Amino acid sequence: MRRRTSRRAYTKKRIGNRIKSQWSKISAGAGALAAVSNITSQDMAASTGQPIAARAQNFANSISGRIIGFTPFKNAAGANTPQTISLEGMFNKYTGIGLGLLGYAMIPARILPHKAKARTLGKSLFGAGLISGIFSPSGNPHTHNLISPSHSTPIVQSAGVT
């Protein structure tokens, strides 16, 4: 006699299979979102509470300003976003999460679930964190602008008493 599965169990299994087959796309999207969030994190505060068009202009200024040093919207919020290239930004929360997921995927225990998914998502987040960390704003005043010949402002150090 053939066993009938309930409609709910069949639907749940079908949704699970759909997510499983789309996991690489979900991971790539999560990596892209992490990269954009990492680059624009501090600049988007300038347009909080403004209309969506002003926020979109600030977003475009933030992305293009941080990566290539050009801001397309000169009178929008975030128009003075400098190009930022800094290696210290590479070690951020996304690289940490990516390394954690890659470490989880390398544990040799067979009982752990979703190791392949963790590896895929870990690679995506780790790569996004590394690449976007180069362009993310940091506390370091030594920013390098490849388009403009002007130098960044020097650090003023006060003489300490020894």
Helix, strand and coil percent figures for the chain, each rounded to 5: 55, 0, 45
pLDDT of residue 154: 47
C-alpha to C-alpha distance for 162 and 16, rounded to whole angstroms: 66
Q: List per-residue pLDDT tens for the chain, 162 residues long.
A: 555 656 666 566 676 677 667 888 999 999 999 999 999 988 888 788 889 999 999 999 999 989 998 889 888 877 888 888 888 888 899 999 999 999 999 999 888 898 999 999 999 999 999 999 999 886 555 545 445 545 445 444 555 555
C-alpha to C-alpha distance for 84 and 138, rounded to whole angstroms: 8
pLDDT of residue 47: 82
pLDDT of residue 106: 94
For the chain, how many residues are written? Answer: 162
The DSSP result for 5-47, as a single string, is PPHHHHHHHHHHHHHHHTHHHHHHHHHHHHHHHHHHTTGGGGG
What's the DSSP call for residue 90? G
